[in-house]
Amino acid sequence: MKNDPRNRRPKIWSNGMKCWHIKDSDAKALLAEEPWLADPENTNPFHEAYTNETGELLLYYKYTKSLLFSSRQAYMKDREEFRKTPPPSHVLEGHLPQGAHFIEAVPSLIDELARTLEIPRESLDSSFDSLYLVEKALKKIRPKRRILEIPNLFPGLVAYAGEVMRKATGGEWFLTEVGGSIHEPYVRHGPGGRYMNPWLELYKSITEPGPVALHVLVSVEVPPPDDLKPRVTFVNEEPDDAYETFGELVKDQKGREVYRIGLRRRTK
């Protein structure tokens, strides 16, 4: 064919298989000018699949670019390996054993944090400056991933970071149940307000290169004083003792205001 996509540079998968992203007109030309057979095993509601006598595989998408693979056999092997891969676990799995009782455990977790890091308890006053004391103590733990292994150290850090956020904003704790025994703790400003995350960036800073800079993690989450206002536009009034549906006006990655709809544990 005139504009054979195979003449362009392909993407090479980890198993050495070549893959070309091809526009709709080239995909239709391939199907029209070469002998292809339908491949029901790889056809699904999103794309049609075809194979040819040389063993190539074409996944034809109607509304986006199609994919041409150099080897159907390699594609099938890679797909089978992917199916065997265990699903990713939640970052809090095994690291926040308090689960649904986390909020009530916050005071005792901070007490234990002070003992573990050998910081006077009165110094952990939920102030922004106190985070530097915690950071200094954490530098003594090497490798830093041990923070996740020392009993209740990570939960204590989440609790303390959240308490600093709560004090800075006048907010309150709430939990979101995401499945099984995993509950995500957040701090929100005021009833039905904007939420702050005290655990995700903390976990990343422990497991990825770089220091555990608690003061940076907290300052990023806490909004400027002039933005400390409720952001939730509605909360359902149905008589449910456990959960509430909420709609929150937030900004997406491009800075546009969009609605985030969710379900969370109702604050008592």
Q: Are 173 and 247 in contact (CB under 8 A)?
A: no
pLDDT tens series, the chain, 268 aa: 678 989 999 999 878 899 999 999 999 999 998 999 999 999 988 889 999 999 999 999 887 889 999 999 999 998 888 778 776 688 999 999 999 999 999 999 999 999 999 999 999 999 999 999 999 999 999 889 999 999 999 999 999 999 999 999 889 999 998 877 899 999 988 545 678 999 999 999 998 877 888 988 898 888 766 554 444 444 555 544 455 555 566 666 666 666 555 555 555 5
In the chain, what are the domain boundaries?
5-84, 99-228
Separation CA 119–CA 48 (nearest Å): 62
Burial class (CB in 10 A: 0-12, 13-18, 19+), 267: middle
Query: Residue 41 contacts by C-beta under 8 Å, 6 or more apart in sequence?
Result: 49
E strand intervals along the chain: 11-12, 18-22, 37-38, 48-51, 57-60, 66-69, 172-179, 182-188, 195-196, 232-235, 243-251, 257-265
Computed on alpha carbons and rounded to an integer, the radius of gyration of the chain in Å comes to 26
Adjacent-strand bridge partners of 67: 21, 59
Query: What is the assigned CATH class of domain 99-228?
Result: mainly alpha
Measured distance CA(80)–CA(84) in Å, rounded? 7
